[in-house]
Amino acid sequence: MSRDRLAKTRRLVVKVGSQLIRGQGLEVGRLKSLAKQLGQLKRGGRDCLLVSSGAVALGYKRLGLLERPTSLRLKQASAAAGQVALMMAWEKALEAYGLKAAQILLTAEDLADRGRFLNAKNTFMALLELGVIPVVNENDTVAVEELKVGDNDTLGSLVASLCEADLFVNLTDQDGLFEADPKKEPQAALIDEVPLVTPAILALAGGSSGPLGTGGMFTKVRAAGRLSERGVPSLIANGLTRDILIRLLAGEKLGTYFPPSEKRRGAYKHWLAFAARPRGRLIVDAGAALAVRDKGKSLLPGGVAGVEGLFAAGDAVSIAQLDQEPFGVGLVNYSSPEVGRIMGLSSHQIEERLGYSHSEEIIHRDNLVVFPNPWIPIANQE
Ligand code: GLU
């Protein structure tokens, strides 16, 4: 899909990074300019959602701290203080262009739990039907470090998938992805299009992040790669460029474009791969790895060689060969103690061993996703 198709976008998620929100102070003019463009896109019949960072960046100043805090409690306090200022600023900016804002704060758990995920989706859909602009951020005030989505690039990609958006625009203070780090090599060329996010592309993105935000280019490129698999195109572009949103949607060659992959992954499988939080790990033998990973088969007890972690039936678990990175994730039909008892058996022996059998598979193929792109693995902890 080329950039020409971007003009046909029906629903877009725009992520705005902390660097754009806070310069010397709150960048009111920048928010206004983005709000103006969103108003124009909205009048053109498009649904618009914002994922806005900046709570911590605004909050620590308000609390009189000299630099972005590193401790969890001060980050949480900063987010609490800054989120108010952030929302007030968006509310005011959007209102000036006849738009209504609504705040949605999400935690990783809201997205990992299928029921809560679908509930959040209903809220998003209701807001969009009412013509409102949802302004999303992670609920940093209550999220503890190890249970966080962690950065708004990832959050933005999850929101884009959840809302069935057909475009994700990730606005930052750089023009896009460069062939080398432009801070070290000023001559480095901007990459216009990334057809596939490969390890080499991720390496280009490095791990650096600015002084205010969390993610950096790595999480931006990874988010784009994940959405590409979902069938959603992304753009990483400079939010400082005049009329950036309007120009991008007109197909102008600005920023870096990540086209959608031809083989589109459905919403449920995307959720399973990137939002569900594995509670444990199943170690499978080589035969099962071949059947599950390469032939799209269900995982049967016979192929399971080990079980790690404590989980209940219905939980997400990752699947790996011994001493290797997980190659997939799925929802298990049996709890960890049950799997421990039936692993290695053939399916017809389950009942004999447990006294009951509610399914022949440990994980049914419909509830299982294999990462086609092993270098974009599940981010969530087990
Ligand atoms: N949620 C954080 C904030 O609003 C930003 C996370 C990020 O920079 O990606 O401050």
The CA 215 to ligand 1 mean position distance, Å, reads 8
**For the chain, what are the domain ranges?**
3-269, 277-370
Pair 238, 254: CB distance under 8 Å: yes
Please indicate whether residue 138, judged by its CB atom, sits closer than 6 Å to ligand 1. yes
Distance 182 CA to ligand 1 centre (A): 23
Q: Which residues pair with 283 in a beta bridge?
A: 306, 320
What are the phi and psi torsion angles at 78 (to 5°)? -65, -45
Asked whether 157 lines ligand 1 (CB < 6 A), one says no
Bridge partners (DSSP) listed for residue 317? 280, 330
Cα 20 to Cα 169: distance, rounded to the nearest angstrom: 14
Q: What is the DSSP string of 178-195?
A: BSS-TTT-TTPPBP-B-S
pTM across the whole model: 0.90
Q: Report in angstroms the alpha-carbon separations of 73 from 17, 76, 107, 214, 329.
A: 22, 5, 16, 16, 33
Indicate whether 181 pLDDT > 90. Answer: no
Q: Is 13 helix (H, G, I), strand (E, B) or coil?
A: strand
- Please list, in sequence order, all residues whose beta carbon lies within 8 angstroms of the beta carbon of residue 136, skipping any fewer than 6 positions away: 49, 50, 51, 52, 104, 105, 106, 155, 156, 159
Phi, psi of 251 (to 5 degrees): 95, 5
**pLDDT tens digit sequence for 190-204:** 999 999 998 888 888
- Residue-by-residue DSSP string for 307-375: EEE---TT-EEEEEETTS---EEEE-SS-HHHHHHHTTS-GGGHHHHHS--S-S-SB-GGGEEE-SSTT
Q: State whether CATH 2.30.130.10 applies to domain 277-370.
A: yes
Instruction: For ligand 1, pick from 86, 107, 152 the residue to mutate: most ligand atoms within 8 Å of CB.
Output: 152
Crossing angle of helices 152-162/267-274, nearest 10°? 160
Of all residues in the chain, what percent carry a pLDDT higher than 70? Answer: 94
What pLDDT sits at residue 375? 52
- Whether residue 136 contacts residue 157, with contact meaning beta carbons closer than 8 Å, is answered with no
Q: What is the pLDDT of residue 325?
A: 87
Q: Please, what is the Cα angle at 144 between 79 and 225, to 5 degrees?
A: 85
CB 279 within 8 A of CB 382: yes
pLDDT tens across 130-177, in order? Answer: 999 999 999 998 877 767 888 999 999 999 999 999 999 999 999 999
Contact 330, 372 (CB under 8 A): no
Per-residue pLDDT tens digits for 265-277: 889 999 998 899 9
Is 143's C-beta closer than 6 angstroms to any atom of ligand 1? no
137 C-alpha vs ligand 1 centroid, how far in Å? Answer: 7
Q: Which atom of ligand 1 is nearest to the CA of 57?
A: 10
Rounded to an integer, what distance in angstroms lies between the CA atom of residue 50 and that of residue 11? 11
CA of 205 to the centre of ligand 1 (A): 19
User: In whole angstroms, how far apart are CA 200 and each of 196, 275, 282?
Assistant: 10, 25, 29
pLDDT in tens, 216-231: 898 999 999 999 999 9
Average pLDDT over residues 303-316: 96
pLDDT tens digits, 329-348: 999 999 999 999 999 999 99
Query: How are strands ordered across the β-sheet holding 133-138?
Result: 101-106, 133-138, 47-52, 11-16, 167-172, 234-238, 256-258
Query: Where would I find the beta strands (DSSP E) of the chain?
Result: 11-16, 47-52, 101-106, 133-138, 167-172, 234-238, 256-258, 280-284, 304-309, 316-321, 328-331, 368-370
Q: Taking Cα atoms as reference points, which of 229, 205, 250 lies closest to residue 44?
A: 250
Percentage of the chain with pLDDT > 90?
79
Euclidean distance between CA atoms 241 and 228, whole angstroms? 24
Compute the distance between CA of residue 297 and CA of residue 227 in angstroms, rounded to an integer: 24
- Spell out a b/e string for 244-279, using b for 16 or more CB atoms within 10 Å of the CB, else e: bbebbbeeeebbbbbbbbeeebebebbbbbbbbbbb
Pick the CATH number of 3-269 from 3.40.50.2300, 1.20.1740.10, 3.40.190.10, 3.40.1160.10: 3.40.1160.10
pLDDT digits (tens, 9 = 90+) for 244-264: 999 999 999 999 999 999 888
Q: Is the pLDDT of residue 378 over 90?
A: no
pLDDT for residue 373: 59
Ligand 1 contact via 330 beta carbon (within 6 Å): no
Q: Which atom of ligand 1 is nearest to the CA of 17?
A: 8
pLDDT of residue 214: 56
pLDDT of residue 371: 81
Q: How far is CA 338 from the centre of its chain?
A: 32
Q: Which residue from 236, 235, 222 is spatially nearest to 373, judged by alpha carbons?
A: 222
Confidence label for 317 from pLDDT (cuts 50, 70 and 90)? very high
**Cα radius of gyration (the chain):** 22
